[in-house]
Structure 1
Amino acid sequence: MSSSPPRARLGRILDDLGSTLVELVCGDADGSHRDIGGVVIYDPHDELELPQHALVLGVGVHDRAQIAGLLSQLGEHGASALLVRAPVRAEPVIKEASRRSGVALLGVAPGASWDQLAAMIRSLINDGDRGAAGKETLGGLPSGDLFALANAVSALVGAPVTIEDRGCRVLAFSGGQEETDPPRIATILGRQVPAHLARNLEENGVFQAIYRSRQPVYIDSLPVDESELSLPRAVMVVRAGDEVLGSIWAAVQSPLSEEQCEALCDAAKLVALHMMWLRTGSDVERRLRAGLVGTALEGGAAAAEAARRLGLAVRPSAVLAFALAAVPADEAQYIAERQQVLDALALHLGAVHPCAATALVGDVVYAVLPVPGDDDAAEDRALRIAADFCGRLGERLRVLAGVGPIALDGTALFRSRAGADRALRALREGRSGRTVARTSDVLSEILLLEMAALITEHGDTPAGPIARLRAYDAEHNTYLVTTLDAWLDAFGDIPAAASAIFVHPNTFRYRLRRLAEISGMDVGDPEARFAAMLQLRLWRRLRTAPA
Structure 2
Amino acid sequence: MTVGRSNNGIGLRSLLVAIGLPLVELRTDHTDPVVRGVAILDPDDEPGSYQGELVLIIGVRGREAARSVRAAARRGASAVAVKEAPDELAGVAAEAGVALLGVAAAVRWDQLETVVRQVLDSATLAEGFTDEPGDLFSLAQTLATLTGGSVSIEDAGNRVLAYSRSDSDAAEVDELRRLSILGWQGPESYLALLREWGVFERLRAGEEVVRIEQHPELGIRRRLAVGIRAGTHHLGTVWVQQGREPFTDRAESALLGGARLAAVHLLRQRSDQGRSREELVTGLLTGHTSPDLVAGQLGLDPAAPAVVVAFTARESTPDEPVRELRLAEMLTMVSVHMASFRRAALVGTDGSRVYAVLPEARQLTGLAPELADVAEVLTRRTGVRVQAGIGSAVASLREVGASRAEADRVLDAMGTARSVASIADLRAEVLLSQTLSLLEANPDLRDPAVGALSAHDAEHGSELVPTLLAWLDAMGDVRAVASALHVHPNTVRHRVRRASEVSGVDLADPRERLSCHLQLLLAVTTGVTSSGVRG
Q: Deviations over 1:352-377 (max 9, x none)?
A: 1221121233322211113443xxxx
* TM-score between both structures, scaled by the size of structure 1: 0.51
Matched, 1:473 2:424: no
Matched, 1:351 2:351: no
Shift of 1:535: 0.7
User: Where do 1:46-85 residues align within 5 Å?
Assistant: none
Pairing partner for 2:409 from 418, 422, 439: 422
Q: Deviations over 1:29-61 (max 9, x none)?
A: xxxxxxxxxxxxxxxxxxxxxxxxxxxxxxxxx
Change (3 A) 1:187 1:467: closer
Q: Deviations over 1:114-150 (max 9, x none)?
A: xxx6xx5xxxxxxxxxxxxxxxxxxxxxxxxx74435
Shift of 1:400: 1.2
1:295 is paired with a residue whose SS is helix
2:505 is paired with a residue whose SS is coil
* TM-score between both structures, scaled by the size of structure 2: 0.52
Hey, what's the Cα distance between the residues in 1 that align with 2:323 and 2:502?
51
Change (3 A) 1:272 1:324: farther
The corresponding residue for 1:290 is 278
User: Where do 1:505-520 residues align within 5 Å?
Assistant: 505-520=489-504
Letter in 2 for 1:388: D
Pairing partner for 2:331 from 320, 329, 342: 342
Hey, what's the Cα distance between the residues in 2 that align with 1:491 and 1:171?
67
Q: Deviations over 1:379-428 (max 9, x none)?
A: 2333333223224445334421111111211211121112112222333x
The corresponding residue for 1:149 is 8
Matched, 1:404 2:391: yes
Hey, what's the Cα distance between the residues in 2 that align with 1:186 and 1:298?
48
Shift of 1:182: 7.8
The corresponding residue for 1:303 is 291
| Contact 1:147-1:174 within 8 A present in 2 as well | no
| Contact 1:487-1:494 within 8 A present in 2 as well | yes
Uncovered stretches (5+) of structure 1, i.e. residues with no partner: 1-19, 22-116, 121-145, 154-160, 201-221, 237-249, 256-267
Letter in 1 for 2:398: T
Q: Deviations over 1:500-527 (max 9, x none)?
A: 2222112222222222233222222221
User: Where do 1:203-218 residues align within 5 Å?
Assistant: none
The corresponding residue for 1:106 is none
Pairing partner for 1:274 from 119, 122, 126: 126
Hey, what's the Cα distance between the residues in 2 that align with 1:323 and 1:524?
42
1:524 is paired with a residue whose SS is coil
Letter in 2 for 1:149: N
Q: Deviations over 1:424-453 (max 9, x none)?
A: 2333xxx35222112232334434443444
Uncovered stretches (5+) of structure 2, i.e. residues with no partner: 25-33, 80-92, 99-119, 136-264
| Contact 2:440-2:522 within 8 A present in 1 as well | no
Hey, what's the Cα distance between the residues in 1 that align with 2:469 and 2:53?
73
The corresponding residue for 1:381 is 366
Letter in 1 for 2:388: A
2:303 is paired with a residue whose SS is coil
Two-structure CA RMSD over aligned residues (Å): 4.9
Letter in 1 for 2:304: R
Hey, what's the Cα distance between the residues in 1 that align with 2:335 and 2:56?
35
2:65 is paired with a residue whose SS is strand
| Contact 2:307-2:361 within 8 A present in 1 as well | no
User: Where do 1:236-247 residues align within 5 Å?
Assistant: none
Hey, what's the Cα distance between the residues in 2 that align with 1:183 and 1:498?
89
Matched, 1:326 2:315: yes
Matched, 1:193 2:56: yes
Hey, what's the Cα distance between the residues in 2 that align with 1:535 and 1:347?
44
The corresponding residue for 1:369 is 358
Structure whose CA Rg is larger: 1
Hey, what's the Cα distance between the residues in 1 that align with 2:431 and 2:133?
35
Hey, what's the Cα distance between the residues in 2 that align with 1:228 and 1:503?
80
The corresponding residue for 1:51 is none
Shift of 1:489: 1.8
The corresponding residue for 1:7 is none
Hey, what's the Cα distance between the residues in 1 that align with 2:353 and 2:46?
44
Hey, what's the Cα distance between the residues in 2 that align with 1:441 and 1:184?
69
The corresponding residue for 1:313 is 302
Hey, what's the Cα distance between the residues in 2 that align with 1:371 and 1:148?
44
1:441 is paired with a residue whose SS is coil
